Homo-oligomer: A and B are copies of this chain.
Amino acid sequence: MDYSKMCPKYESAAELLGKKWTGLIIRVLLGGPKRFKDIKEQIPEMSDKMLTDRMKELEASGILTRTVYPEMPVRIEYELTEKGRHLDEVIHSIQNWGENWM
């Protein structure tokens, strides 16, 4: 097998998943679209700033979308894209290994 070809895409994916809180945020969003405060409620130990930063990174990576509903007050929802939803299996796989071996 050509290992040099494995490298860049694997490394990008693993780096993204290895960032603190990212797996947890994706896991919460696998349950469906959520507002900022709903995500926050499920991961109370994470600061607002950290959640904001991670959400921006995940939006930039095409893992989630941010939709603004022009209501009063404005409603903003975060939702996984197809790319993000396909991380389900990957995250479960890391989680299973972690539970058995870490």
Contact = CB atoms under 8 A, between A and B. Distances in A.
A88 to B, nearest CB: 10
A49 interface: no
Interface of A: 3-4, 6-20, 22-24, 27-28, 42-43, 45, 62, 83, 86-87, 89-91, 93-95, 97-102
Given A7-B24, A12-B98, 6 more contacts: A6-B27, A9-B102, A10-B91, A11-B23, A14-B22, A86-B97
Contact of A87 (B12, B19, B24, B97): B97
Copies of this chain: 2
B4 A95 contact: no
B6 A102 contact: no
B23 A98 contact: no
A25 to B, nearest CB: 10
A94 B23 contact: no
